[in-house]
Chains A and B, each alone.
Chain A
Amino acid sequence: MSTTSAARALDSRTPSSSPAVASRRRRPDRGVWIYVLPVSAVFLFVFVGPLIYTAWTALHETNFYAIGEFSGLTSFTELFADPNLPKQIGTTLAFSLGALVIALPAGLLSATVLNSLHRFKRTVRGLFLLPWLMSQATAGVIWLWFLNPNFGPVTAITTSLGMGPTDVFSSPTSALVGVTLITAWWSYPQAMLLFLGALQTIPGELRESLKMDGGGVWRGFISITLPYLRNTIVSVVIVLLMLYVQMVTIILVTTRGGPLGATETLSMRVFNQTFNDFDLSGASATAILLFAVNVVLTLVAIRFRRKESL
């Protein structure tokens, strides 16, 4: 058999050369759409649709929840001309980063404690998870009562120590610190669970080798734990930042953005514009800005993860 005829014979056996076989190969590809279409439809319905509707609303005048005349970029112009906006962006960043700085190490520390426990593991895990098991509204109300300056338990303690009543929500700075701490307290178990999952994937042999080499707890944390957790830390940062930037309930229950707008984050601004001012167009413009902030934060984090994996 010559080279040419052999090649031809081989070619005739190659499935791709046959139209019928090629058609058979395409058919399973087409079947994929059965799975893709419903997912795409739901994605369009619950994400793209509302996003377009929000942008559409921001470009129109509104009267309560009725959309009126096309108004162009008026809502965006008013948004960026609002002298309160820079302060609200600053509050959003201070609140989000502040809560993150507390919840991240608290989650890591509690996960490390849980991972090294050999007895009462379930009980301690349940105790650590307690804040997260409550709804945000319940957590807010509990702290509101706990810190009540007239009859709250904290006031009773501080008064008996001669320090006077606690008055957390009556001054701008302490109110912002208060809602930040409450939010960090409520959300740290979420970080703890993610860290705990990652800690349990670290091979035990590594720690044993370290022990044999005379490495201590701190060396183990720096040389083994942290490198293994790097990607998880990035994931936790993304998850928590998204949560904090969009947080409404705890702020709504405790301060509603006050006093003097000190705890009015961008999310609270959206809430107040929608339900206090019934300014749906303005709220939509703010929501688009909030969405942009979220997209930027996510892209930064994704870029960081890619670098990590290289």
Chain B
Amino acid sequence: MITKRWSYATAVAAATAVVLAGCSASSSSEPSASDGPVTLTYWDFLDPSQDNPRSNALEENIANFEAANPDITIDLSVVSLGDMLNRLPQSAAAGQAPDVFKMFTPTVPQMAAAGAYSPLPEAASEITDWLRPPSNLVGPDGQQVAVPYEYRTCAFYYNQKILDQIGAEVPTTYEDVVDVAGKAGAAGFTGFGTGFSDTDNSAIISTFFDCFMSQVGEPIWNDDGEAEFAGTAADEFGQILADLRDSGGLGTSVVSDSYSTVTDGLTNGTVAMAVLGSERVITLTGANPDIKWGPLPEPTSGGTTGATLGWTLGIGAGTDHTDAAWKFIEYMTGAEAGAVMATGGEIPTRASTYDAEYFSTPEAETVKTVADYVESNSEPHTYSDDWIGVASGLSAAGQSLYLNKTSGSEFITAAQDAINE
């Protein structure tokens, strides 16, 4: 009898243990950096298994780092930006954030507010040769949480063949853009490629808006962190979109178009003009020789200086390996890794990188040209902790502008209201 009771008790205890084992968070048995070998978890959107220049450069850099630091292993997880924005706050709340992760500049403050970052170590402040100041990569307490890994800004792309076909000069102002886009639209092309789809986090319209606000020198948020741009020079942005719509310069599928559909359209020769990130210079001009690029068109008041954007690297919240994580970040933003990433078409962020031998070769000409362009045509600015809300608000307002035929000022007001909602 006693034996049977014990067997019941043991069975119940075993079942309970199985369930509880599932409940408990996995505890790391990994030693800290100072104790010996360390494995760093690293989230990046690039997949080294793919055969393209950027992925190959990342793979080479990780291999070089591991060879130079035999006690540190990099455990790379490929996570798209959209997934990263969803998963980072969750993993941070669960105490399972990666040791190091890549993040897009405008969303750094939002991820910092979500508690995804650890503060950078003191050593970070010793690096002073960033091409652009990293003062906007901060958390809610104003402390720097990330460093620039790659630079980009907005550029104006156009298809010279289409412009020649419709007898148009290269536009230098947004007013010209509207005229030329109307003519291109009448000739059967998409005059100006942009998109109001929310499926890729509204990447194209939010990037365009970010750069335009830099061009006209208007902040997006007030001191309280509320979006406040309606009734300022930002209204011209809405007016440009409304004029493009009225002139027939927007594509008929603009509501569902995204960043990739516009770049595909430029590559295929169906889109005449677009404002996109400078990171596309090498791929677009390589894929279609008719594609040319240059500075942004000028607004009525303002210049051609867009926002400095790009990818950053930061240390995940709650890491046990801050020293090793910083060592990795320092290497990845350093001269050796920078020269390798430049072979993949990315723009390194530190001045010292450009002293490397690679940058004196003809292959580096385009990268150097884009780097000069970013340095002379962009300025970093601060972001609030709700860039995803800004992007969603802009795409919703854009859909209404096209489908409900709202005015440019209504677009701006609707976007502002949606962001503050």
- Hey, which bits of chain A sit against chain B, CB under 8 A? 30-31, 33-34, 37-38, 41-42, 45, 64-66, 148-151, 165, 167, 169-172, 175, 252-261, 275-278
10 other contacts beyond A252-B199, A260-B399, with CB at 8 A cut-off? A34-B8, A45-B22, A149-B253, A150-B265, A167-B252, A167-B253, A169-B256, A255-B199, A258-B255, A259-B399
A170 to B252, CA, bound (A): 8
Point out the residues of chain B lying under 8 angstroms from A38, CB to CB. Answer: 15, 18-19
Asked if A277 contacts B19 (CB within 8 A), the reply is no
B343 at the interface (CB under 8 A from A): no
Interface string of B22-35 (1 = CB under 8 A from A): 11000000000000
Asked if A258 contacts B198 (CB within 8 A), the reply is yes
Interface CB pairs A-B, < 8 A, 28: A34-B11, A37-B16, A38-B18, A41-B16, A64-B113, A65-B90, A148-B261, A149-B252, A149-B256, A150-B190, A150-B253, A150-B261, A150-B268, A167-B252, A169-B256, A253-B199, A255-B256, A258-B399, A259-B255, A259-B399, A259-B403, A260-B403, A260-B404, A261-B396, A275-B86, A276-B389, A276-B392, A278-B114
A255 to B270, CA, bound (A): 23
A148 to B22, CA, bound (A): 44
Contacts known (A275-B86, A277-B389); A259 close to B93, Cβ less than 8 A: no
Interface string of B302-326 (1 = CB under 8 A from A): 0000000000000000000000000
Asked if A45 contacts B19 (CB within 8 A), the reply is yes
Q: How far is the CB of A276 from chain B (nearest CB, A)?
A: 6
Point out the residues of chain B lying under 8 angstroms from A175, CB to CB. Answer: 256
Point out the residues of chain B lying under 8 angstroms from A149, CB to CB. Answer: 251-253, 256
**Dominant SS among interface residues on chain B:** helix
- Hey, which bits of chain B sit against chain A, CB under 8 A? 8, 11-12, 15-16, 18-19, 22-23, 85-86, 89-90, 92-93, 113-115, 190, 196-199, 251-256, 261, 264-265, 268, 270, 388-389, 392, 395-396, 399-400, 403-404
Asked if A66 contacts B264 (CB within 8 A), the reply is no
Point out the residues of chain B lying under 8 angstroms from A66, CB to CB. Answer: 93, 115
Asked if A165 contacts B115 (CB within 8 A), the reply is no
Select the residue from A175, A254, A275 with max chain B CB neighbours within 10 A.
Answer: A275
A50 to B22, CA, bound (A): 14
Asked if B115 contacts A64 (CB within 8 A), the reply is yes
Asked if A41 contacts B15 (CB within 8 A), the reply is yes
A148 to B89, CA, bound (A): 33
Point out the residues of chain A lying under 8 angstroms from B270, CB to CB. Answer: 150-151
Asked if A37 contacts B12 (CB within 8 A), the reply is yes
Contacts known (A34-B11, A151-B268, A258-B399); A165 close to B253, Cβ less than 8 A: yes
Asked if B19 contacts A41 (CB within 8 A), the reply is yes
Point out the residues of chain B lying under 8 angstroms from A34, CB to CB. Answer: 8, 11-12
Asked if B85 contacts A65 (CB within 8 A), the reply is no
Closest B residue by C-beta to A66: B93
Asked if B252 contacts A165 (CB within 8 A), the reply is yes
Contacts known (A37-B15, A66-B115, A276-B392); A259 close to B268, Cβ less than 8 A: no
Point out the residues of chain A lying under 8 angstroms from B22, CB to CB. Answer: 45
Point out the residues of chain B lying under 8 angstroms from A151, CB to CB. Answer: 264, 268, 270
A180 to B190, CA, bound (A): 29
A34 to B251, CA, bound (A): 65
A252 to B23, CA, bound (A): 30
Point out the residues of chain A lying under 8 angstroms from B196, CB to CB. Answer: 259
A279 to B255, CA, bound (A): 26
Asked if B8 contacts A170 (CB within 8 A), the reply is no
A172 to B115, CA, bound (A): 37
Asked if B89 contacts A256 (CB within 8 A), the reply is no
Point out the residues of chain A lying under 8 angstroms from B396, CB to CB. Answer: 258, 260-261
Contacts known (A64-B115, A258-B198); A42 close to B19, Cβ less than 8 A: yes
Contacts known (A34-B8, A278-B89); A257 close to B198, Cβ less than 8 A: yes
Point out the residues of chain B lying under 8 angstroms from A167, CB to CB. Answer: 252-253, 256
Asked if B389 contacts A170 (CB within 8 A), the reply is no
Point out the residues of chain B lying under 8 angstroms from A261, CB to CB. Answer: 396
A42 to B16, CA, bound (A): 9
Closest A residue by C-beta to B200: A256
Asked if B403 contacts A171 (CB within 8 A), the reply is yes
Q: How far is the CB of A95 from chain B (nearest CB, A)?
A: 18
Q: How far is the CB of A69 from chain B (nearest CB, A)?
A: 17
Asked if A170 contacts B253 (CB within 8 A), the reply is yes
Asked if B8 contacts A275 (CB within 8 A), the reply is no
Closest A residue by C-beta to B421: A277
Point out the residues of chain B lying under 8 angstroms from A148, CB to CB. Answer: 261
A167 to B251, CA, bound (A): 11
Point out the residues of chain A lying under 8 angstroms from B395, CB to CB. Answer: 258
Point out the residues of chain A lying under 8 angstroms from B264, CB to CB. Answer: 150-151
Closest A residue by C-beta to B11: A34
A204 to B388, CA, bound (A): 61
Q: How far is the CB of A221 from chain B (nearest CB, A)?
A: 41
Asked if B89 contacts A64 (CB within 8 A), the reply is yes
Point out the residues of chain B lying under 8 angstroms from A42, CB to CB. Answer: 19
Select the residue from A66, A172, A276 with max chain B CB neighbours within 10 A.
Answer: A276
A202 to B364, CA, bound (A): 74
Closest A residue by C-beta to B116: A64
Point out the residues of chain A lying under 8 angstroms from B198, CB to CB. Answer: 256-258
A150 to B93, CA, bound (A): 42
Asked if B197 contacts A258 (CB within 8 A), the reply is yes
Point out the residues of chain A lying under 8 angstroms from B404, CB to CB. Answer: 260
Q: How far is the CB of A42 from chain B (nearest CB, A)?
A: 6
Point out the residues of chain B lying under 8 angstroms from A30, CB to CB. Answer: 8
Point out the residues of chain B lying under 8 angstroms from A257, CB to CB. Answer: 198
Point out the residues of chain B lying under 8 angstroms from A252, CB to CB. Answer: 199
Point out the residues of chain A lying under 8 angstroms from B252, CB to CB. Answer: 149, 165, 167, 170
Point out the residues of chain B lying under 8 angstroms from A171, CB to CB. Answer: 255, 403
Select the residue from A66, A150, A172, A257 with max chain B CB neighbours within 10 A.
Answer: A150
Select the residue from A45, A170, A252 with max chain B CB neighbours within 10 A.
Answer: A170
Contacts known (A45-B22, A259-B196); A275 close to B256, Cβ less than 8 A: no
A33 to B190, CA, bound (A): 69
Q: How far is the CB of A238 from chain B (nearest CB, A)?
A: 29
Point out the residues of chain A lying under 8 angstroms from B23, CB to CB. Answer: 45
